[in-house]
Amino acid sequence: MDGRAGAAQSDAMKDTPRQPVLLLSHEMLAPLQAALEPAYRVIRLWDHPDRLSFLEGPGREVQAIVHAGEIKLSRDLLSEMPRLGLIACVSVGYDGLDVAWCRAHGIAVTHSQGLNADDVADHAVGSFLAAWRGIVAGDRIVREDRWTPAERMRPRPGLMGKKAGIVGLGHIGEAVAKRVEPFGMTVSWWGPNPKDSRWPRAQSLLALARDSDALFVCCRGDAANHHLISRTVIEALGPRGCLVNVARGSVVEEDALIAALKDGRLGMAALDVFETEPTPAARWADVPNTVLTPHTAGGTLESIPKMIGQTLENLKRFFNDEPLLSPVQG
């Protein structure tokens, strides 16, 4: 290449706007890369196991992070990215972030607001039915050739007249309430703040658990709710009760839950979320009366494209200095 051609290429590069730089925070987000690359330069955090060299190199260019909100992003990592201005959570939840710290350091946080509440509620009620009526256990009995005439003489309770308690009456909690009423269940709820609702609010979480046959955990998974469903609450739900958790694993005192299931102080549980994810299979090998799913309640063929679309819109607005579509409030 002669000097004139080289100078022309250099001038052209100066005139070409640089693509904004995004960081994908976790391998589960890898499928988004193809949708992002036409407009952005994408860096993948898992390609940089040496965090110090990452922060001294490509980390200094990162302007926005596309994130799965339940995964922790440490302050130490975020504080070393001088150009960072947005963390766009594809998920509804954002409990892996210290939002107040981000706000204080000029980093906006967005999430997929209210886009998968119906899907999560469907899953919550479906897994509750599977636990309550022994559907998963029955499937195993048939497949393992253990079906005897005695099986039909071990009836399980129906739903008519049973009581559903809902912890956290947000989008998901309301969707659960609307789904269980047609089964003939009565609904009550508890949250720290009163709100207008056609369903009664219990005086306390403990009172809600004592008065419920099924307790649906639908609250935020933030630090304020860590182990909100304690041993005391679990025991109040009792040996005939069912605990359903579609919130976050951190909300339930998991060791106490397992102990209560093993010794019969809690009747059954349907869990989509766990304190450690993936949860070790051995931890649940001898835990009876459980229906377990791998944190899939909110992911459907309909909801995931909507969540990705809202994330892309938030990114576009951020880089065009426009109001964000779904900023985290509070």
The CATH code of the domain that includes 67 is: 3.40.50.720
Mean pLDDT of the chain: 93
Per-residue model confidence (pLDDT) at position 114 = 80
Instruction: Name the CA dihedral angle for 82, 85, 88, 92, rounded to a multiple of 10 degrees.
Output: 110
The token duo for 36 is: 């992002």
CA distance 310 to 72: 21
Beta bridge partners of 320: none
- Cβ burial of 203 (10 Å; 0-12, 13-18, 19+) is exposed
- Would residue 327 count as lying in a domain? no
Per-residue model confidence (pLDDT) at position 153 = 67
pLDDT at 288 over 90: yes
CA distance 166 to 328: 23
Q: Indicate the range of 84-88, 95-99, 173-177, 215-219 predicted with least confidence.
A: 95-99
Residues 234 and 307 occupy one common structural domain: no
What is the pLDDT averaged over residues 81-107? 95
pLDDT at 83 over 70: yes
Choice between 184 and 149, residue whose per-residue pLDDT is larger: 184
pLDDT band of residue 17 (cuts 50, 70, 90) is low
- Would residue 328 count as lying in a domain? no
The secondary structure element, H or E, covering residue 190 is strand 186-190
Residues 11 and 91 occupy one common structural domain: yes
Residues 236 and 165 occupy one common structural domain: yes
pLDDT at 39 over 60: yes
Q: Indicate the range of 10-14, 82-86, 197-201, 280-284 predicted with least confidence.
A: 10-14
Q: Give me the active site residues, please.
A: 248, 277, 295
- For 127-147, b where at least 16 C-beta lie within 10 A, e where not — what string? bbbbbbebebbeeeeeeeeee
C-alpha atoms less than 13 angstroms from C-alpha of 27 in its C-beta half-sphere:
4
Considering its fold, how many domains does the chain have in total? 2
Residues 207 and 75 occupy one common structural domain: no
pLDDT band of residue 9 (cuts 50, 70, 90) is very low
Task: Say what the pTM is.
Answer: 0.88
Per-residue model confidence (pLDDT) at position 154 = 83
Residues 88 and 186 occupy one common structural domain: no
Q: Indicate the range of 8-12, 122-126, 184-188, 252-256 predicted with least confidence.
A: 8-12
- Would residue 80 count as lying in a domain? yes
- Would residue 325 count as lying in a domain? no
pLDDT at 295 over 50: yes
pLDDT at 14 over 70: no
- Would residue 193 count as lying in a domain? yes
Sheet holding 21-24, edge to edge: 41-44, 21-24, 64-67, 86-89, 108-110
Angle between helices 117-132 and 135-143 (to 10 degrees): 60
Residues 160 and 190 occupy one common structural domain: yes
- Would residue 326 count as lying in a domain? no
Residues 107 and 124 occupy one common structural domain: no
Residues 136 and 45 occupy one common structural domain: no
Q: What is the DSSP letter of 242?
A: E
Residues 122 and 255 occupy one common structural domain: yes
pLDDT band of residue 16 (cuts 50, 70, 90) is very low
Residue with token string 């207008």: 196
pLDDT at 3 over 80: no
Tell me, letter by letter, the H, E, C secondary structure of 315-328: HHHHHCCCCCCCEC
- Would residue 210 count as lying in a domain? yes
- Would residue 309 count as lying in a domain? yes
Residues 137 and 93 occupy one common structural domain: no
Domain that holds residue 33: 3-115+302-319
330 to each of 111, 174, 195, 277, 290, how far by Cα in Å?
Answer: 13, 21, 17, 27, 35
Residues 140 and 174 occupy one common structural domain: yes
Residues 265 and 138 occupy one common structural domain: yes
